[in-house]
């Protein structure tokens, strides 16, 4: 009989081994799923994990997709540490895109270099605004932020859909639900010619480093860590829970909003009904796989970005539905949570010893 | 039949059609939460239920088998959820999110081959005699089997929770698992059962969407109904009768959405579609404002990991 026995101390090694173990289990399960789907499993795994990044253009695409995932993931990670569950990042991203995209559409075509920085500010404000609603409802009315932030996501996506179907639709766009293409001054500069890799990558790296410093070196970072480790201790220490809820939601909202701005002014270049293929939700997985740590989130963001590229490639090469991406993402988080049990517990075979055992 | 009667009938059908899937999912979740387990994977379980029900109906040609398949699929996902949160003691919030993300992906993969396929939807069953009563008869007694079942479930669960020994044990497990454990009740097994029941009901709710409401399969067709059901349970203070009232209230909101434009309201459809989500937020705020009362009603151990000590 297998049973779990608490470890005297949480295992540091398992904290880092667990994601690797989960990845391994995901690969094995993926192999089995591909066999069930009746395709050559080895070939499919190759097409999913290796082929998309086997040339430099593929690597650049990987980074393009990792940017929003890391940005959002690092914000969510701070919140999750403080037990603030913002799962509405997808909507905050959309609002950031709306705020920033609105400016890009509205300014005259002979505007200058001031537009792009202002779009960034607006993107951040849009995401913050949308995250401020669940923060207000949680701190003032005690409403669960998981449900409110998610409900507001649907509202934000519908609002974006209204805008591009209605008032912001490109008059010369053959009735497609899209805004006009952004002018050059409203588009993120490219880092490498011939790729879609844009300035957002550098911005993301700077922000990740900033959040890392914030968590490790500042008072608010300390409070976040203490609340995560022991909510009771935080209470005794007199940390104001409300202030932390606001901080966590505004930070994650701001970063999701910035990700939205980056998507519309970078790879997409206009407002469309769907500015993100679910980055806001996938970033939840990124945060957990990255162990809620900025460095880990960066690595996990690249890994999860690969799952998008892999899904797309699988569709092209083997004609499999793109939903494979979602299955791999879900499985990864599932296995991760299962493996995480080994951080606090170890597996023992046989019956518990009675002598010396707790009662 | 006069036009106003037809209109009334259309309205009633819309309310019932929107309320029934929510009712199943929320009733199931209510039982799960009464045992102290929070199942945030409801959305994923509804989706898996919807696709399983649709696939089984396409293959067998029998929508009733479809409903069973939906329930079984939802229960299976719930079992997986239980493995994580009950046996492996994982965080219930994170695991629930994982189940939802997994359910979205898996249902899309399984359903990819069924997009565009049509089925014979669940037939309506007129109750003899009663259905022939003028006006009310066709409004109340001419629906599909799941509508009747959902209403019976409300009555059955009210009796179960408040008037049976098993219901008392369920509540004890949710209020104080350590006391229940000390009294010799198998806390973990009871929580598994409650969770699996919740998953099965979410599956049936999903089945209603793909077999009755649309009837077809499309990716992500639940559109957040699992989350609305979760909010409904809070709104209902974990009481079956109030779950019923809440679900039908949401059905009422949907009318504005579906018939708003028909009634000459010139608001863009996207704003009408926002209504159920906004209503959920408003309702959640109203019910959560009184934190003392909320705490009184909520099962005391909800969302907490329990590990039997011996």
In a domain, A281, yes or no: yes
Max CA pair span of chain B: 69
In a domain, B305, yes or no: no
Tell me, what CATH number does B93's domain have?
Answer: 1.10.3470
Q: Which of B266, B300, B13 is nearest to B171 (CA)?
A: B300
Number of domains in chain A: 1
Tell me, what CATH number does A257's domain have?
Answer: 1.10.3470
**For residue B207, what pLDDT is reported?**
94
In a domain, B302, yes or no: no
In a domain, B310, yes or no: no
Please provide residue B126's backbone torsions phi and psi, each rounded to the nearest 5 degrees.
-75, 130
In a domain, A164, yes or no: yes
In a domain, A334, yes or no: no
Which domain range does residue B93 map to? Answer: 3-297
In a domain, A297, yes or no: yes
**A295 CB within 8 Å of a chain B CB:** no
| HSE-up of residue B80 (Cα within 13 Å, Cβ side) | 24
- Which residue in chain A has the smallest CA separation from B305? A341
Inter-chain CB proximity B284 and A148 less than 8 Å: yes
In a domain, A102, yes or no: yes
Partners of residue A142 in chain B, C-beta under 8 Å: 288-289, 291, 294
- Which residue in chain A has the smallest CA separation from B225? A151
Number of domains in chain B: 1
Which domain range does residue A287 map to? Answer: 53-319
Q: Which residues neighbour A262 within 8 Å (Cβ) at sequence distance 6 or greater?
A: A67, A68, A71, A123, A188, A198, A200, A203
Partners of residue A323 in chain B, C-beta under 8 Å: 105-106, 108-109, 112, 219
Number of CB pairs < 8 Å for A and B?
142
Please, are residues A277 and A308 in contact by the beta-carbon 8 Å criterion? yes
Inter-chain CB proximity A147 and B84 less than 8 Å: no
In a domain, B195, yes or no: yes
User: Residues 129-168, chain A: which have Cβ within 8 Å of B?
Assistant: 137, 141-144, 146-148, 150-152, 154-155, 158-159, 161-162, 165-166
Distant-in-sequence contacts of A210-214, Cβ < 8 A, 24+ apart: A211/A74, A211/A75, A211/A78, A211/A294, A212/A293, A212/A294, A212/A295
Give the rounded distance of the alpha carbon of A181 from its chain centre.
26
In a domain, A16, yes or no: no
In a domain, B309, yes or no: no
Inter-chain CB proximity A154 and B277 less than 8 Å: yes
In a domain, B133, yes or no: yes
**For residue B265, what pLDDT is reported?**
64
- The pLDDT profile of chain A, 359 residues, written as one tens digit per residue, is 677 788 888 888 888 888 899 999 999 998 998 888 888 888 888 988 988 888 889 999 999 999 999 999 999 999 999 889 999 999 999 999 999 999 999 988 888 888 999 999 999 999 999 999 999 999 999 888 998 999 999 999 999 999 999 889 888 878 888 888 888 888 888 888 888 888 889 999 999 999 999 988 888 888 888 887 777 777 777 777 888 899 999 999 999 999 999 999 999 989 999 999 989 999 999 999 998 999 999 999 999 999 999 989 988 888 888 888 888 888 999 899 888 888 888 888 776 655 444 44
Q: What is the ipTM of this complex?
A: 0.88
- The pLDDT profile of chain B, 310 residues, written as one tens digit per residue, is 567 777 777 788 888 888 999 999 999 999 999 999 999 999 999 999 999 999 999 999 889 999 999 999 999 999 999 999 988 888 888 889 889 989 998 998 888 888 888 888 888 877 777 777 776 777 777 788 888 999 999 999 999 999 999 999 999 999 888 888 888 889 999 999 999 999 999 999 999 999 988 888 888 888 889 999 999 998 888 999 999 999 998 888 877 776 666 666 677 888 888 888 998 899 889 888 888 888 888 888 888 888 777 5
Please, are residues A94 and A276 in contact by the beta-carbon 8 Å criterion? yes
Q: Which residues neighbour A275 within 8 Å (Cβ) at sequence distance 6 or greater?
A: A93, A94, A97, A160, A260, A263, A264, A268
Count of C-beta atoms within a 10 Å radius of residue B134: 8
């Amino acid at each position: 009989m297998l049973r779990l026995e608490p470890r005297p101390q949480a295992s540091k090694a398992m904290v880092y081994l667990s994601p690797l173990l989960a990845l391994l289990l995901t690969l094995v399960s993926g192999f089995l799923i591909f066999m069930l789907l009746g395709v050559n499993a080895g070939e499919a795994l190759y097409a999913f994990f290796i082929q998309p990044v086997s040339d430099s253009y593929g690597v650049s695409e990987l980074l393009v997709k990792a940017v929003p995932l890391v940005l959002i993931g690092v914000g969510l990670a701070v919140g999750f540490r403080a037990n603030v569950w913002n799962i509405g990042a997808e909507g905050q991203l959309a609002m950031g895109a709306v705020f920033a995209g609105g400016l890009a559409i509205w300014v005259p075509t002979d505007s200058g270099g001031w537009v792009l920085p202002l779009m960034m500010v607006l993107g951040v404000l849009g995401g913050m605004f949308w995250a401020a609603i669940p923060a207000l409802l949680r701190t003032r009315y005690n409403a669960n932020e998981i449900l409110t932030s998610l409900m507001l996501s649907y509202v934000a996506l519908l609002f974006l859909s209204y805008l591009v179907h209605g008032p912001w639709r490109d008059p010369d766009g053959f009735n497609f639900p899209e805004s006009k293409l952004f002018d050059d001054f409203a588009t993120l500069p490219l880092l490498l010619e011939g790729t879609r890799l844009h300035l957002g990558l550098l911005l993301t790296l700077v922000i990740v480093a900033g959040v890392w410093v914030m968590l490790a070196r500042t008072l608010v970072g300390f409070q976040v860590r203490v609340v995560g480790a022991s909510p009771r201790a935080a209470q005794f220490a007199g940390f104001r829970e409300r202030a932390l809820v606001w901080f966590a939601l505004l930070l994650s909202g701001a970063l999701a909003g910035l990700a939205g701005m980056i998507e519309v002014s970078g790879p997409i270049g206009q407002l469309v009904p769907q500015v993100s293929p679910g980055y806001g939700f996938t970033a939840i997985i990124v945060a957990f796989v990255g162990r809620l740590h900025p460095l880990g989130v960066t690595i996990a963001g690249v890994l999860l970005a690969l799952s998008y590229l892999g899904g797309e490639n699988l569709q092209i090469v083997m004609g499999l539905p793109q939903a494979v991406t979602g299955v791999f993402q879900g499985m990864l988080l599932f296995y991760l949570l299962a493996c995480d049990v080994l951080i606090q517990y170890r597996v023992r075979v046989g019956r518990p010893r009675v002598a010396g055992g707790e009662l | 039949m006069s036009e106003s009667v037809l209109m009334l009938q259309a309205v009633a059908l819309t309310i019932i059609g929107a309320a029934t899937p929510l009712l199943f999912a929320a009733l199931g979740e209510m039982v799960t939460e009464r045992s102290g387990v929070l199942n945030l994977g409801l959305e994923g379980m509804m989706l898996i239920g919807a696709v399983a029900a649709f696939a089984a109906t396409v293959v067998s040609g029998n929508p009733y088998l479809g409903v069973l398949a939906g329930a079984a699929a939802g229960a299976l996902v719930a079992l997986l959820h239980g493995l994580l949160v009950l046996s492996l003691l994982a965080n219930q919030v994170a695991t629930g999110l994982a189940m939802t993300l997994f359910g979205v992906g898996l249902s899309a993969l399984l359903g990819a081959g069924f997009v565009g396929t049509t089925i014979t939807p669940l037939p309506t069953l007129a109750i003899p005699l009663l259905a022939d009563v003028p006006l009310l008869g066709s409004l109340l007694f001419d629906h599909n089997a799941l509508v009747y079942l959902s209403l019976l479930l409300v009555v059955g669960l009210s009796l179960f929770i408040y008037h049976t020994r098993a219901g008392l044990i369920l509540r004890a497990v949710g209020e104080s698992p350590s006391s229940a454990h000390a009294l010799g009740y198998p806390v973990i097994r009871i929580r598994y059962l409650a969770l699996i029941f919740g998953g099965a009901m979410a599956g049936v709710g999903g089945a209603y969407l793909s077999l009755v409401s649309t009837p077809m399969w499309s990716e992500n067709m639940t559109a957040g109904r699992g989350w609305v059901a979760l909010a409904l349970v809070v709104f209902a203070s974990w009481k079956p009768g109030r779950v019923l009232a809440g679900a039908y209230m949401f059905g009422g909101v949907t009318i504005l959405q579906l018939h708003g434009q028909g009634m000459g309201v010139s608001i863009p459809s996207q704003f009408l579609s926002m209504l159920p989500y906004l209503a959920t937020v408003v309702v959640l705020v109203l019910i959560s404002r009184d934190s003392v009362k909320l705490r009184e009603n909520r099962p005391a151990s909800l969302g907490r990991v329990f590990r039997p000590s011996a």
